[in-house]
Structure 1
Amino acid sequence: MSDMTVAAGRRSRWGLFIAPVLLLILAVAWSGFWFYAASQAEVAADAWRAQEARSGRIYDCAKRSIAGFPFRFEVQCSGASVALVSQNASKTPFTAKLDNILVVAQVYDPKLVIAEFSAPATLTDGVTQTSFVVNWSKGRSSVFGLPAVPERASIVFDDPTINRLDGTMQVPLARAKQVELHGRLADGSSRDHPVIETVLQIAQGSIQGLHPLLLEPFEADVRAKVTGLTDFTPKPWPQRFRELQAAGGHIEIVQSRIQQGDMIAVAAGTLGLSANGRLDGELQMTVAGLERVIPALGIEKMLEEGVPQATLDRVAPGVKTQDLNNLFGALDRAIPGLGKVVKQNANVGLAAGINSLGTESTLEGKKARSFPLRFADGAVLLGPIKVGQIPPLY
């Protein structure tokens, strides 16, 4: 065998080792990069927690770990807790605790962060010491645009339920098939004066203990736009709302639709904040099937049992309970049983009064009424009738 043949054989054998060696070097370099990036992720997480804590939102984990090598980061937070210390005037913390949070980011797309939440969660109001248990079958969220100002974010819960703890008993408060909340920076929005577009969707939602109307499942789809924000700096919500009011900010309800059985309601308009931190503004509503809502208001039963003044102030400001009692008593003295007849037909009269508001319309092929729903310093007014009162936001 010639010398040239031997040399060629040696070169060919060396070529067999080049690819594995390069692959090994690449693997070592990638491993170093991953572990360095993982350590930096922990540093960034600690810095974010410290920044949030300065604004009164304290996040903690009983145990935290990072995995996901080689192509993604998985941050596991077991025994997660959140304490909102300065979100109200009393400075009393509102706390939330849940079993586990898993946060995932791909190495090749670190701006997109996805999280999964393990149920249940326990919420405690530090002012009233009332506790709630929140459950769900699946909870997840996503945020795009980190570590800078997020461009969009979403959170979705399947089969969520909220129960109030009464000793060892859990009293049902609310439930739904699914709840979704999405938000994003509006196109053309500047970072120093951001405009946020939001979508809230509730499927088969129901609320117990507030009003019989809310017991029957409903569907909701609300699309809104928030203006008047000055920045995304973490800060207490009362401070955020004050700044929004001072800047003349508002919430524009671009489109909303609520359906409950045969009743369908759509609304659009603009809501702002008064100097007292209460809602001000007006929504133009169109409602189909309004007549089915009237019996659920319980006017007849309310009149039969006697109307508490607080309730009367809510549904008919300026009318006194004694005035009603005197009226029904006088009717019964004039014609026995007449007062009862009037009470029993109260729903009919109220329906006729509400139907006289606004104008006739058509909604999704059904007869409907269009009328304004006004908010005056927190009071909710359907025409001249006060139907609710919203507490101040700060």
Structure 2
Amino acid sequence: MTAPLTQKPKSRRLAWLAAIVVLVFAAYSAGWFYLAGKVRAEVDGTIAELAAQGIRADCANMAVGGFPIRLAVSCDSVAYEDDAGNVAASSGAVTAAAPFYLPLSPSADITGPLRTSAPGMEPLWLDWDRMHVSTGLMWPAQRKLAFQAEGFSGQTDPQDDTDPVQLFSAAKAKAQLRPAEGQDLDARISFGELQVDAEAIDGRTLPPLDGMIEATVKNGMALLATPVKSLRGQSLTLRQVALSSGSAAVQVSGPVAVRDDGLIDADLMIRIKDPQTVATILATAIPEQEQQIQQGFAALAFMGKEPSMPLKIAKGRISLGFIPLGKIGPVE
């Protein structure tokens, strides 16, 4: 007689649990579809606001999906064109998504090519085999933006009948931006098997390079919000710049600033691995300074296999210790 009495409360608990699960899922589903509608409305609203300003933007065949584990927005192609500002960009398919358990960390996969046009620069055609962009937001302000690409390449995109100029190609490339102290911005860029086309650097030749750049850009957060039209008056600190090709490697660190007249000042420390191979690379890249480079690096043999010395740039004039390496013209 007691068995049915003990079974009844257990059945009630299971029924209540099932009801709670159904209610939670129903509430979650309603919330998901509400957010999906808000996202679509926000995208349509933004495009309409830009159109009112004379800016054409498009997210072709926009779709919102991913239910129930994520919220995803996809476009067959995206485009942005501002005739007044002479700025344009377009790319292939874009899929951006945020999982429900990480709503503040959306990511996107982007299909190339990316065509860009902006004042003061040649139109570019960038392409890649795979590109992934991710963001991370930690309340209230800490955040980051990162991208990684494979088979990344770039060339000019002439608007007339002239042939494009191949600029570079890299087997892989990564970049990450995050806030630093105050309004400064930390940046980290790395690449592998970078090949710079000789035509892009006045016929000079460089071997394939692996590299990494870690820098803090002064007032970089403000520069992101309002991009500057000139590099003049800007500065950064190179925490580390590392370039290598085979056994040869160079590491550089120190402050760099662009003067108001466009000339560069820098007070850097450089460490060289396999100086003779580095000298050969530099002499090939800067043939007008070949004799000075070979003579100067020959003296480095007395400083060991990995010598360190100051690399200074004063009003655009570059010197490695006592070795003159040429001059950098004013930048805009």
Flag whether TM exceeds 0.5 (same fold). Answer: yes
Residue matched to 2:242: 257
Residue matched to 1:234: 225
The letter for the 2-side match of 1:372 is L
Query: Where do 1:1-394 residues align within 5 Å?
Result: 18-43=16-41, 45=43, 60-83=58-81, 91-93=85-87, 95-124=88-117, 131-145=123-137, 149=141, 151-165=143-157, 167=161, 171-186=165-180, 189=181, 193-208=182-197, 209=199, 210=201, 214-229=205-220, 231=222, 234-238=225-229, 245=233, 250-276=235-261, 278-287=263-272, 288-289=275-276, 290-297=278-285, 299=287, 347-348=290-291, 350-353=293-296, 361-362=303-304, 366-368=305-307, 370-376=309-315, 379-382=316-319, 384-389=324-329, 391-392=331-332
CA-to-aligned-CA distance 1:58-83 (integer Å, 9 cap, x gap): 75423322111112110112221244
The letter for the 1-side match of 2:225 is P
Mean CA deviation greater in 130-139 or 176-185: 130-139
Distance 1:101 1:293, change over 3 A: same
Q: Is the 8 A contact 1:285 1:373 kept in 2?
A: no
Q: Which has the higher contact order (CA 8 A, sep 6+)?
A: 1
Secondary structure in 2 aligned to 1:160? Answer: strand
Q: Is the 8 A contact 2:216 2:239 kept in 1?
A: yes
Secondary structure in 2 aligned to 1:28? Answer: helix
Query: Following the alignment from structure 1 to structure 2, what is the Cα–Cα distance between the partners of residues 227 and 55?
Result: 32
Distance 1:256 1:174, change over 3 A: same
Q: Is the 8 A contact 1:34 1:69 kept in 2?
A: yes
Query: Following the alignment from structure 1 to structure 2, what is the Cα–Cα distance between the partners of residues 234 and 139?
Result: 24
**Identical residues among aligned pairs (%):** 15
Query: Following the alignment from structure 1 to structure 2, what is the Cα–Cα distance between the partners of residues 201 and 53?
Result: 37
Secondary structure in 2 aligned to 1:112? Answer: coil
Query: Following the alignment from structure 2 to structure 1, what is the Cα–Cα distance between the partners of residues 292 and 266?
Result: 28
Alpha-carbon offset, residue 206 of structure 1 = 1.1
Query: Following the alignment from structure 1 to structure 2, what is the Cα–Cα distance between the partners of residues 9 and 387?
Result: 89
TM-score by length of 1: 0.67
Alpha-carbon offset, residue 35 of structure 1 = 1.2
Alpha-carbon offset, residue 273 of structure 1 = 2.9
| Larger Rg belongs to | 1
TM-score by length of 2: 0.78
Query: Following the alignment from structure 1 to structure 2, what is the Cα–Cα distance between the partners of residues 19 and 352?
Result: 83
Alpha-carbon offset, residue 165 of structure 1 = 4.4
CA-to-aligned-CA distance 1:211-267 (integer Å, 9 cap, x gap): 55554100111111123357477323328x67xx4xxx6311011111123432111
CA-to-aligned-CA distance 1:11-64 (integer Å, 9 cap, x gap): 998777544444333332111111112233345556777999999997542332
Query: Following the alignment from structure 1 to structure 2, what is the Cα–Cα distance between the partners of residues 83 and 282?
Result: 41
Q: Is the 8 A contact 1:206 1:214 kept in 2?
A: no
The letter for the 2-side match of 1:255 is Q
Secondary structure in 2 aligned to 1:39? Answer: helix
Distance 1:58 1:353, change over 3 A: farther
Gaps of 5+ in 1: 303-314, 316-346
Distance 1:229 1:173, change over 3 A: closer
Alpha-carbon offset, residue 147 of structure 1 = 9.0
